[in-house]
Amino acid sequence: MAVKELNISPVGRVEGDLDVKVYIDEGKVTKAHTQAAMFRGFEKIMAGKDPQSGLIVTPRICGICGGSHLYCASSALDTAWGTQLSPNALLLRAIGQATETIQSIPRWFYAIFATDMANKKFANKPLYKEVVKRWSAYVGETFQVGLTASGLPVQVYALFGGQWPHSSYMVPGGVMCAPTLKDITRAYAIMTQFKNDWLEPVWLGCTIERYMEIKSWEDMLAWLEESDSHKNSDLGLYIRAGLEFGLDKFGKGVEKFLAFGTYLHKDMYNNPTIEGRNKALISPSGFFDGENWHEFDHLKVSEHVKHSWFGDQEDGLHPWDEPIPTPVKSQPLHHSDFDGKYSWAKAPRYDGYAAEAGPLARCIMAGNPANLEHQIRDPFFIDAYRKLGGASVFTRVLARVHEAPRIYQLINEWLGQIDLDGDFYNKPVEKDGKGFGATEAARGALAHWIEVKDGVIKNYQVMAPTTWNVGPNDGNDNPGPIEAALEGTDIEDVKDPVEVGMVARSFDSCLVCTVHAHDEKSGVELSKFKI
Amino acid sequence: MKTAIMGFGNPVRSDDAIGIYVIEELHKSIGSTDDVSLFDMGTAAFEVLFGLKGHDKIILVDAVINTNEPIGTLFKVPAEEVLRAPEEDPMVFLHGMKWDQALSYAKKIMGDSYPEDISVYLIAIDNTKLEVDLSPTVKEAGDKVVNHIMHELKTLKVS
C-alpha cells in the first residue's frame, strides 16, 4: 500500500453551520439575522423508500441526538401502523432518551457554556477567579470531571441499544433487545457512578433528594445559603456568578414556549395514537404564551419559507402537507438579501407564533397546574421564571441543569420496572397512513411526520429543536427566537461581543455558529468569531 | 494486548459511509472479541475519548476529501501526523469537533493511559451527497482496508 505524505484534515461532519449577523448601534444590538448555511435534505433520501428507512437514516442526522431521532422515527410508524407497545418497550425507549439527555447536561455545561463565563469581559467581577479556576476550557478543575462523567449515561444507552450514538434498537412495535439481569445491574452501577463522581459531590453539593425539595426561587436561595457545600458546588457557583455577571439581564427571546413532551408512560401508551399521546407523557407537552398554558396539538404546527431557500411551497403548511424539501438558489452571507430568502432553516410556527424549544420550555410545562398525577409536576421553574423577570441567558442555562437530578431519578425508577420475562416487541402489520412521532431531545422539541402510501414513504418531514430556535423571520417578517433574543442586547466591546455568543449558546443550537457583528450605520464588519 | 478499531463517517452521505462499511465487514468476519473492540463511531468524534480506554492499540478508519489523489486512494498515517489541538479552534466543541481534535484532547487528559500505538487509515473520496450508495471504487478500497487490518491483527497474535 502506498504511504503518502498527507497534509489534510478529516471530513468535517458538523450538523451544519450557522451564521449570525448582528447590527450594532451605540453599543446595542439593533437587529439580528440567523442564517443556516447548509442545505440539509435528509428527507429526500427517504422518499419512495421502505417505510422503515427513517429508523436507519434519521439517527444519522446527528452525532449527538441520534437516539432522539430514533425515538421519533419509531413513534411516527407506531401511530401510522397502529402498533402495540409493551410496558418494557416504552420503558427501554424512555431510558434511551433520558440517558442521551442527561449525558448532554454536563457535556454542554462545561464544554459549551461555562467557558464563556471565563471570558475576560467578567475579569473585574469578584467571582471571576473562581470561575476561571474551575471552568476554563480543558484545564479547569471540574471541566474534566464533568466531561468524563458525561461518558457514563450513554454506556447505559449502549447496553440496551447496542451502541451510542446511531443505533436502531427502537422499532415500530417495540425495541429490539432483551436485557438480562446482568445488564440491569450494570446500568444501575453506571448511573450510580455518574451520581457519585459528579452529580452529587461536584454539581449539587448535596443529595438529589435534598435538591428535589426546592419548590420556589426563595427555596433555591435558602438552599444556597444553607451550607458551604451548596454554595461552593458548581451549581452554587453558577447561580452566584451568573447573577453577579448579569446573565439574567439579557437574551429574553419571544417569551413563548413549546414542548412536544416525552417519556411515554409504560401503561398508558400500549396502543399508540396521536390523540392519546399528550395524556400518556411523563414529561408534559404544551404551549405557553407568556401567561397561560395551552394543550399541545401537532396540527397547529406549520412552517414558513418566505425567508428560507425552499421553493414549491406556500407559507403556513402543516408538515404533512409540505413537499419534500426543494432547494432554491442560495447566496453567501455577504450577498444575502434579508428582505428576501436568507436561510437554509425554515421558520416553524405554533398557532402562528415563533416559540422557543428546549429545557426552559420543558421546565415551564412542568409547572402547569393541570399536569396529571403521573406527569412531572414541578412548580420551581415557573416561579423562578416569573421572579427573575422571564427568560434570559441565566434562566435558560438554569433550566438545562435543573433537569439532571430528576432525569437521574426517573432512569433509576424505570430500570426497576423492567419485567425481564415480559415482551419487548410485538410484530406490527404494515399499512398505509400518516404518522406523527415526537420527543424532547436534549435541545428541545423534535418531531417526525410520515406519510406511507402504496407501501413506501410518500412524505417525511423532520423538525428539529434548533429549527424552532434558529429559524429566520416568518411570512409576516416576525423574527425567530434567537433573532428576537439578540435584539436589544448591550454589547460592551464591539470587537469581542461575547454577549452575542452567550445568547446563542444559551439555546444550545446544534450548529457550529459564527457571529458577524456589523456597525449599523456604516455596515462595516466590526468582528467575526466562532462560538 | 487489546485493539480498538473505530470507523468514522455517515452512511447516508454516499462515500462518506466507507469507515462504517469497514467496521460492518469486520463485524461479519471477526466480530468484537476479547482482544478486539469494533466501534461504529458515526459522526460522534467526541466519543473517541471514551473508546480509547482500556486499549493498547487503536486503528481509525475514515474518509478524506480534497487529497488531489484519485478516489479510492489509501493512506495510512500515524495519528501523531494528523493530531490537531482543539485549542487551535477553542470555540468548536461537540457539534464541531473532529476526531483529530478529540485525540489531542484525550492525550491531554488520559496522561499515561493514552495508547501509544494509534494509526489511521484514510480513504480518498469525493461524493458526499445525501444518498445511501457506496461507489464501487471506494468500496473496493474499503475491502482492502479490511484485509490490511485482518493482516495486522494476525501479526499481533503471532508476535
Condensed to tens digits (0 to 9), the pLDDT of residues B31-41 reads 888 999 999 99
CA distance A447 to A277: 13
**Contact state of B93 with A112 under an 8 Å Cβ cutoff:** yes
Cell numbers describing residue A144:
474534566
**Contact state of B69 with A4 under an 8 Å Cβ cutoff:** yes
The per-residue pLDDT for range A98-150, each reduced to its tens digit, is: 999 999 999 999 988 898 898 889 999 999 999 999 998 878 899 989 989 99
CA distance B137 to A143: 44
**Are the C-beta atoms of A414 and A308 separated by less than 8 Å?**
no
Best mutation target among A5, A6, A46, A117 (most B Cβ atoms within 10 Å) is A6
In B, minimum Cα distance to A502 occurs at: B91
CA distance A283 to A376: 6
The 3-class SS string of A370-397 reads CCCCCCCCCCHHHHHHHHCCCCCHHHHH
Task: Report pLDDT for A10.
Answer: 52
- Percentage of chain B beyond pLDDT 90 is 50
DSSP string, A260-287: --EEE-TTT-SS--STTHHHHEEE--EE
CA distance A43 to A531: 28
How large is the angle between the packed helices A66-81 and A87-108, nearest 10 degrees? 150
The per-residue pLDDT for range A60-99, each reduced to its tens digit, is: 888 788 999 999 999 999 999 999 999 999 999 999 999 9
Partners of residue B10 in chain A, C-beta under 8 Å: 13, 60
The per-residue pLDDT for range A406-417, each reduced to its tens digit, is: 999 999 999 999
What sign has the CA pseudo-torsion A332, A336, A341, A346? positive
Count of pairs with CB atoms under 8 A, one residue in A, one in B: 129
**Contact state of A60 with B12 under an 8 Å Cβ cutoff:** yes
Partners of residue B82 in chain A, C-beta under 8 Å: 6, 9-10
- Consecutive H or E run containing A233: none
Closest approach of A224 to chain B, Cα-based (Å): 31
Whether the predicted pLDDT of A361 surpasses 50? yes
The per-residue pLDDT for range A267-291, each reduced to its tens digit, is: 999 999 999 999 999 999 999 999 9
**Are the C-beta atoms of A502 and A247 separated by less than 8 Å?**
yes
Whether the predicted pLDDT of A19 surpasses 50? yes
Distance of CA A344 to the CA centre of its chain: 19
Task: Report pLDDT for A98.
Answer: 98
Task: Report pLDDT for A328.
Answer: 92
Partners of residue A502 in chain B, C-beta under 8 Å: none
- Consecutive H or E run containing A192: helix A181-194
Whether the predicted pLDDT of A392 surpasses 70? yes
CA distance A273 to A256: 27
Average model confidence (pLDDT) for chain A? 92
**Contact state of A57 with B144 under an 8 Å Cβ cutoff:** no
Cell numbers describing residue A296:
399541545
| Edge-first strand listing for the sheet containing A433-441 | A433-441, A444-453, A456-463
Comparing A100 with B81, the larger pLDDT belongs to A100
Closest CA to A3 of B146, B55, B78: B78
**Contact state of B44 with A64 under an 8 Å Cβ cutoff:** yes
**Contact state of B130 with A63 under an 8 Å Cβ cutoff:** no
**Contact state of B44 with A41 under an 8 Å Cβ cutoff:** no
Candidate from B12, B95, B148 with C-beta closest to A57:
B12
Closest approach of B1 to chain A, Cα-based (Å): 23
Tell me the mean pLDDT in the region A15-38.
86
CA distance A385 to A217: 9
Residue A10: CB partners within 8 Å, gap ≥ 6? Answer: B8, B62, B63, B64, B82, B98, B99, B100, B122
CA distance A516 to A499: 13
Q: Report the SS3 class of residue B63.
A: strand
Cell numbers describing residue A135:
471552568
Closest approach of A163 to chain B, Cα-based (Å): 8
Q: How confident is the model at residue A3 (pLDDT cuts 50, 70, 90)?
A: very low
- Count other Cβ atoms within 10 Å, centred on residue A386: 11
Task: Report pLDDT for B159.
Answer: 62
Whether the predicted pLDDT of A400 surpasses 50? yes
Partners of residue A115 in chain B, C-beta under 8 Å: 90
Pairing of strands B3-8, A433-441: unpaired
The alpha carbons of chain A give a radius of gyration, in whole angstroms, of 23
Q: Report the SS3 class of residue A437.
A: strand
Partners of residue A112 in chain B, C-beta under 8 Å: 93-94
Q: Does ipTM surpass 0.90 in this model?
A: no
Partners of residue B43 in chain A, C-beta under 8 Å: 13, 60, 62-63, 165-166
Whether the predicted pLDDT of B16 surpasses 60? yes
Residue A513: CB partners within 8 Å, gap ≥ 6? Answer: A17, A18, A19, A20, A501, A504, A505, A530, A531
**Contact state of B94 with A107 under an 8 Å Cβ cutoff:** yes
Residue with cell 470555540: B91
Dihedral-angle region of residue A488 (phi above 0 means left; psi in -120 to 50 means alpha; beta otherwise) = left
Task: Report pLDDT for B93.
Answer: 53
- Consecutive H or E run containing B79: helix B79-82
**Contact state of B76 with A144 under an 8 Å Cβ cutoff:** no
Q: How confident is the model at residue A16 (pLDDT cuts 50, 70, 90)?
A: low
Whether the predicted pLDDT of A160 surpasses 50? yes
